Structure 1
């Protein structure tokens, strides 16, 4: 059975994409502040940084699994191949 051809990526994949982008920005910020910011909060920030990293890993695995299962948009044949 063939999967239907879509014009856009499915909503769950789009939501996970932008959620992961936001979480990664938070992850970099937490790591930077924990390393160079307030010394008294650095241990707590590093623990939060680690937990956030585990959440990002789990959401990335979920996103990859959904990507394998869900239908994807057709490839545009008129677009030149990537460099």
Structure 2
């Protein structure tokens, strides 16, 4: 029986739940909308993750350039 439920699509599961709830489809519709919202949030999260990765690379590069430039000044100050 558990394997049978896993094979069903979301739409089929929603139809079965609505049939079983005898007109109380609001909870099923709320769950469907929640699933769609979570999928959308996950997609936008992936976009922000990629942007944060590249931002980290750029900031690291700029920090290295600044450290190289400051090394000469610090070296002269020590002497």
Superposed pair shares fold, TM > 0.5:
no
Q: Larger Rg: 1 or 2?
A: 2
Return the TM-score normalized by structure 2.
Answer: 0.41
More helix by share: 2
Higher RCO, 1 vs 2 (CA within 8 Å, ≥6 residues apart): 1
Return the TM-score normalized by structure 1.
Answer: 0.40
